[in-house]
């Protein structure tokens, strides 16, 4: 029942600034137009702080770190 964190992007809000890729290249790549590609897998706890920083740095607040309970 430990919480699982996942990254999600709000594609409507995202304007392809690319900050998230700069700050979390381990988990976020960019497509050919500069929009982030996420794999949807749970976040490694070691990367959680980096993920939160990337979410906070997004100029349009399009990157979300979501917490869900493990089933």
Partner 1 sequence: MSVRQPLADSRVYLAERSTPRERGEPGLPRLLSGIPASGALPLGEHLALHGPLPASHGRGWTRARRGDGALIEEVERAGLLGRGGGAFPTAAKLRAVAGAARSTLGGRPIVVVNAAEGEPVSAKDRTLLRSLPHLPLDGALLAARAVGAREVLVGVCESRPEVREALASALAERRAHGADALAGTIDVQLHPVPHRYVAGQESALVNHLSGGPALPTFTPPRPFERGVRGRPTLVCNVETLAHCALIARHGAEWFCELGTDEQPGSALVTLAGAVVHPGVYEIEHGSSLGALLDAADGPTAEVRAVLLGGYSGAWVDGSWLPQLALSDRQLQPYGASLGAGVVLVLSTRACPVAELARLTRWLASQSARQCGPCVFGLDAIATVFEQLVLPLALDRRGAERRLRTLAATVDRRGACGHPDGVARLVASAVEVFADELAQHARRGPCAACSRPSELPGLAR
Residues that bind partner 1 (CB under 8 A): 10-16, 31-35, 37
C-beta closer to partner 1: residue 10 or 44: 10
C-beta closer to partner 1: residue 45 or 61: 61
H or E, element range at 66? strand 63-69
DSSP letter string, 19-68: HHHHH-TTT-EE-TTS-EE---PPPPGGGHHHHHHHHHH-TT--EEEEEE
Shortest spacing between CB 37 and partner 1, in angstroms: 8
Shortest spacing between CB 49 and partner 1, in angstroms: 25
C-beta closer to partner 1: residue 45 or 60: 60
């Amino acid at each position: 029942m430990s919480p699982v964190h996942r990254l999600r992007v709000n594609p409507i809000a995202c304007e392809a600034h690319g900050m998230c890729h700069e700050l979390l290249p381990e988990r976020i790549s960019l497509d050919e137009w500069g929009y982030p590609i996420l794999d949807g897998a749970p976040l490694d706890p070691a990367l959680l702080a980096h993920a939160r920083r990337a979410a906070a740095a997004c100029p349009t607040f399009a990157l979300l770190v979501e917490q869900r309970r493990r089933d």
